[in-house]
Amino acid sequence: MVMAYEIFRAGAAVPETFTPKLASSYELEAMYDHLKETLTKIHFVNPENPDYWMQSLRRFFSRIGLQAREVRSSGGSAARSTGTATSVGRTMPAPHPPIRSALGACPKARRMKLFS
């Protein structure tokens, strides 16, 4: 009976675990190029030498092991932040107005001198 149990256990299939698809080098390079362009547009990096910061970002992202889905979503958020994303041929709407202008109109905020 013990032998029958061991044979049964040996024949049992090991359940497969889900392994997400990691981003290919092509996808990563496209993300890095898009990220460099975006960071230069918003003046986060020096336009004369954007590779200085990109080297640090490349090291950071290479340690993580990005999945293909994460690379696609980072590209979408970068496009959205610069206003270059399109939806059905239309430009995405402008971002919301800054909070300062909304709170500056509040009489209590003016009394508390939160905003000049």
d(CA 94, CA 83): 7
The domain segmentation of the chain, as residue ranges, is: 19-83
- The model's pTM is 0.54
pLDDT at 97 over 60: no
Which candidate, 66, 72, 33, 27, places its Cα nearest to that of 51? 33
Q: What is the pLDDT of residues 22-43, one digit of tens each?
A: 889 899 999 999 889 888 888 8
Q: Following DSSP, what letter does each residue of 20-33 receive, concatenated?
A: PPBPPHHHHHHHHH
Maximum separation of any 2 CA atoms in the chain, in Å: 86
Instruction: Quote the mean pLDDT of the chain.
Output: 74
Q: Rounded distance, CA 93 to CA 5, Å?
A: 65
| Per-residue pLDDT, 88 | 43
CA distances from 107 to 44, 68, 98, 99, 114 (A): 35, 49, 17, 15, 11
d(C-alpha 59, C-alpha 53), whole Å: 10
Per CATH, the number for 19-83 is 1.10.8.590
